[in-house]
């Protein structure tokens, strides 16, 4: 099943978010409005959600239209893997056509099947050199989403990221003014560590991301810290050939 995002729905969603700039409502409200707008544009979905994620992979704000979305998201953060975390880490759209046969995130797809989630599409929210998080759609039927779904969602994400970043910056100016250089450095380290695992250990892009997320979760360190240790030779792991 493929869907086209109606122009009027796209315009309405962005207009609702833009209104927050005038009323100075909080980031949480903006995220919730965006989730509701996505749900309204794709009524065949089981639910929609938006998560803002910091450089350590922690959610700073989240909006969901249905309990199923909350459960699907929570399982990703509990397990340290899944399509939304991968969309955020790789800054690329991730599509799950059928959770019954998808083997990219074994633990999460098992949880998804238990929740009767069959299809997912997750699109990163990118603003310049920052990835603010991801927005996603969940469906109970397989093959609910494809590239025809991705294109309008990516267009919406590009515009929404600008607006969300502006609202978030006005809410927490200190965080972004002091953390910008660190954030850029961190993302570069994560990207290079991912490339190292792919080049030295023959991992796929998604396997490398999952490995970094697993190491971060196991060591209770940020992705940036784990990546820096890998690049400096200070971290060895059995899963990528260390001792």
Among the listed ranges 27-41, 53-67, 107-121, 162-176, which one has the minimum average pLDDT value?
Answer: 162-176
185 pLDDT higher than 60:
no
Give yes or no for a contact between 21 and 167, defined as CB atoms under 8 angstroms apart: yes
Mean pLDDT of the chain: 79
Reported pTM: 0.67
Q: Residue 62 forms beta bridges with which residues?
A: 51
Note the pLDDT of residue 114. 94
Residue-range domain boundaries for the chain: 7-172, 174-229
Rounded CA separation 67/186 (Å): 33
Is the torsion defined by CA of 195, 58, 155, 3 positive or negative? Answer: positive
Which of these, 75, 154, 98, lies nearest to 122 by C-alpha position?
Answer: 154
- Is residue 121 within 8 A of residue 151, CB to CB? The reply is no
Portion of the chain with pLDDT greater than 70, in percent: 74
What is the rounded average pLDDT of the residues 170-190?
50
Residue 239 has pLDDT above 60, yes or no: no
Q: How far is Cα 49 from Cα 34, in angstroms, rounded to an integer?
A: 8
Sole residue written with tokens 């919730």: 32
Q: What CATH number matches the domain at 174-229, 3.30.70, 2.30.29, 2.20.25, 1.10.10?
A: 1.10.10
pLDDT at 65 over 60: yes
Q: Specify the CATH number for 7-172; select among 1.25.40.10, 3.40.50.2300, 2.60.40.10, 3.30.450.40.
A: 3.30.450.40
Note the pLDDT of residue 44: 85
194-230 confidence digits (pLDDT tens)? 888 888 888 888 788 888 888 877 777 777 778 888 8
- DSSP letters for the chain: ------HHHHHHHHHHHHHHHHHT--HHHHHHHHHHHHHHH-TTSSEEEEEEE-TTS-EEEEEESSHHHHHHHHHHHHHT-SHHHHHHHHTS-EEES-TTT--SSHHHHHHHHHTT--EEEEEEEEETTEEEEEEEEEESSTT---HHHHHHHHHHHHHHHHHHHHHHHHH-HHHHHHHHHHHHHHHHHHHHHHHHHHHHH---HHHHHHHHHHHHHHHT--HHHHHHHHHHT----GGGT--
pLDDT at 175 over 80: no
Q: CATH topology of 7-172 equal to that of 174-229?
A: no
Closest CA to 232 of 176, 175, 192, 185: 192
């Amino acid at each position: 099943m493929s869907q086209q995002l109606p122009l009027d729905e796209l315009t309405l969603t962005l207009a609702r978010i833009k209104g927050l700039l005038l009323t100075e409502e909080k980031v949480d409200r903006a995220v919730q409005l965006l989730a509701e707008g996505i749900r309204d544009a794709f009524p065949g979905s089981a639910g929609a959600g938006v998560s803002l994620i910091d450089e350590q992979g922690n959610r700073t704000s989240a909006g969901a239209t249905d309990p199923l979305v909350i459960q699907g998201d929570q399982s990703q953060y509990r397990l340290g893997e899944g399509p939304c975390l991968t969309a955020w880490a790789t800054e690329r759209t991730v599509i799950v056509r059928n959770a019954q046969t998808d083997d990219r995130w074994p633990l999460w797809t098992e949880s998804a099947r238990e929740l009767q989630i069959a299809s997912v599409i997750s699109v990163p929210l990118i603003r310049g050199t920052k990835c603010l998080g991801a927005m996603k759609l969940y469906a109970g039927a397989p093959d609910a989403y494809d590239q025809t779904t991705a294109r309008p969602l990516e267009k919406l994400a590009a515009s929404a990221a600008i607006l969300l970043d502006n609202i978030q910056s006005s809410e927490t100016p200190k965080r972004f003014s002091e953390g910008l250089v660190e954030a850029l450095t961190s993302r570069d380290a994560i990207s290079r560590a991912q490339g190292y695992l792919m080049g030295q250990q023959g991992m796929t892009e998604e396997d490398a991301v999952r490995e970094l997320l697993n190491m971060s979760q196991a060591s209770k360190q940020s992705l940036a810290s784990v990546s820096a240790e890998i690049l400096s030779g200070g971290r060895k792991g059995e899963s990528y050939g260390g001792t």
